[in-house]
Structure 1
Amino acid sequence: MGYKIVFFDIDGTLLDEDKKIPEDTRLAVAQLKANGIEPVIATGRAPYFFEPLARELGIDSYVSLNGGYVVYRGKELYHRHIPVPVLERLVGLAHQSGHPLVYQGKSSYHTNSVEHAAVLAAIDSLKVFYPGGQSEFWRDESIYQVFLHCRHGEEQPYLAELPELRFIRWHEDAMDVLPLTGSKAEGIQVMLDTLGIPREESIAFGDGLNDKEMLELVGLGIAMGNSHQELLPYADYVTARADEGGIAAGLRYAGCLA
């Protein structure tokens, strides 16, 4: 199969557990580009979180915010945000439940509880800068994704009362909140359609619960060796861990590297 494009998750995929790019990953991405195959970032993160990483790897195309904001070589292709009436209901329920929220726009992000321990713990795990404190940010800007900070099991009322939304856990204190049909696969399909690339000629690497749909969509879905166990059934191939040469090994398996 002549693959033309490869989508890479960031955390646990391009980055190891210390949030660093393994040298063999750096070399593999460079060789992929030299071979004429397009590398694309596909992440739950917003662009302001991964711009240094993208520059370091020489990648200028991305599917960000779990498919909500898509850019190809600097050109915006797709926007998908959460409607304000739905956000209003989410904010009201979170207030009743005492759960802080973080609102993500395409250029900045803010929280309604800057000092909350759950917010700080989750953001610290990403090793990124803290959100601003504009609690009404969601009223003034398009919001592509929200972090709901709650413990396991505490999300049940939200699932019942907000069927328009998806809730995907990524930390013991935090969940991604996005539209029900939102996923990385949604944004990837937009990019494939724009470029005229059949999905059979695409590859995706991932390790988390928000990677299920994209591994199913592409021609070759590769799970990292450090993947969440629930992701593995969605993969066509399981490679090594991020810090054990997993990206290079997966690309060799696909025939993209010598």
Structure 2
Amino acid sequence: MDYKVVFFDIDGTLVDETKQVPQDTIDAIAQLQANGIEAVIATGRAPYFFKPIAEQLGIDSFVSLNGAYAVYQGETVYKFSIPREHLELLVKEAAKNNHSLVFEGGETYFSNVEDHPHMVDSVASLRVDFPGYDPDFWQKEDIYQVFLHCTPEDEHLYENIFPDLRLVRWHPTAMDVMPVGGSKARGIEAMLQKLNIPIEQTAAFGDGLNDKEMLETVGLGIAMGNSHPDLKPFADYVTTDVDKGGIASALRHFGLI
């Protein structure tokens, strides 16, 4: 297959546990681009969380916020925000359960509780700046994703309450909240439609549960060796771990570099 675009998740895929991009990954992506194949970031992170990584890799296109906000070479090609009435229900339920929220807009993000330990724990794991404090941010700006800070033991409190929202755990103390129908796959499809590239000519790398739809949708879905066990059945190929040359190995295996 003549692949034209390769999408890359960030955490656990492009970066290792120390949030650094391994040198073999840097070299492999440079070679991929030199071969005329576009590299695009596809992540649950917001754009302001991965700018240094994108610049380090020379990548200027991305599908961010789990598919809700996609940009191709500086041009916004897709937006899918959460309706305010759904956010209002989430705010009320989280307050009842004493769970903090972080609201992610396209340009910045804010928490509705100052220094909640679960928020501090999860955001610190991303090695990014902490959010500002503005409990009303969701009423003033478009929100594409929310961090809900709760442990797995409390997930049942939100089951079957929000039919229009989807919750996906990404940290022991945090879940992504996104609109139903939102996924990296949806953002990818919107970008490819803009570029007039068939989905069959794309590949993607991922490691987390929020990568399931992406790996199922692209022409070639590749799971990292360190992937969540429940993701691997949805991949066409499982490579080695992020810190064991996983990206470079798979790109060579399929003749992309």
Structure 1 length-normalised TM: 0.98
CA RMSD of aligned residues (A): 0.7
Measure the CA separation in 2 of the matches of 1:57 and 1:145: 25
1:161 aligns with 2:175: no
> Could you tell me the percent identity over the aligned residues?
58
1:80-95 counterparts in 2 under 5 A?
A: 80-95=80-95
- Counterpart for residue 37 of structure 2: 37
* Amino acid corresponding to residue 214 of structure 2 in structure 1: M
1-side partners of 2:156 and 2:143: how far apart?
Answer: 22
Contact 1:159 1:167 in 2 (8 A): no
Pairwise CA distance, 1:235: 0.3
Q: Secondary structure at the match of 1:229?
A: coil
Residues 154-163 or 217-226, more deviating: 154-163
Residue type of the alignment partner of 2:138: W
Counterparts of 1:57-96 in structure 2, within 5 Å, are 57-96=57-96
* C-alpha deviation, 1:159, in angstroms: 2.5
The answer to whether the aligner puts 1:178 opposite 2:155 as a matched pair is: no
Structure 2: segments with no counterpart, 5+ residues: none
**Runs (4+) off by over 6 Å:** none
- Find the aligned partners of 1:177 and 1:153 in 2 and give their Cα distance: 17
Q: How does 1:179-198 map to 2 (within 5 A)?
A: 179-198=179-198
Shift of 1:158: 1.9
- CA drift at 1:155: 2.1
Cα distance in 1 between the residues matched to 2:19 and 2:212: 22
Q: Which residue matches 2:47?
A: 47
Q: Corresponding residue for 1:228? A: 228
Residue 219 (structure 1) aligned with residue 226 (structure 2): no
Residue of structure 2 in register with 1:253 after alignment:
253
Aligned equivalents of 1:86, 1:119: Cα separation in 2: 21
Deviation of the 1:8 alpha carbon: 0.1
Q: Distance in 2 between matches of 1:237 and 1:229?
A: 13
**Where does residue 115 of structure 1 map in the other structure?**
115
Offset at 1:92? 0.3
Give, as a single letter, the amino acid of the residue that structure 2 aligns with 1:39.
A
Describe the SS at the equivalent of 1:59.
Answer: coil
Distance in 2, matches of 1:254 and 1:81, equals: 36
How far the C-alpha of 1:253 sits from its partner, in A, is: 1.6
- Alignment gaps of 5+ in structure 1: none
**Alpha-carbon separation, structure 2, partners of 1:89 and 1:197:** 38
Q: CA deviation at 1:145?
A: 0.2
Deviations 1:62-95 (A, max 9, x none): 0000000000011000100000000000000001
- Which residue of structure 1 aligns with residue 128 of structure 2? 128
Instruction: In structure 2, give the amino acid aligned to 1:197.
Output: I
Shift of 1:156: 2.0
Match of 2:16 in 1: 16
TM-score (norm: length of structure 2)? 0.99
**2:18 aligned counterpart, secondary structure:** coil
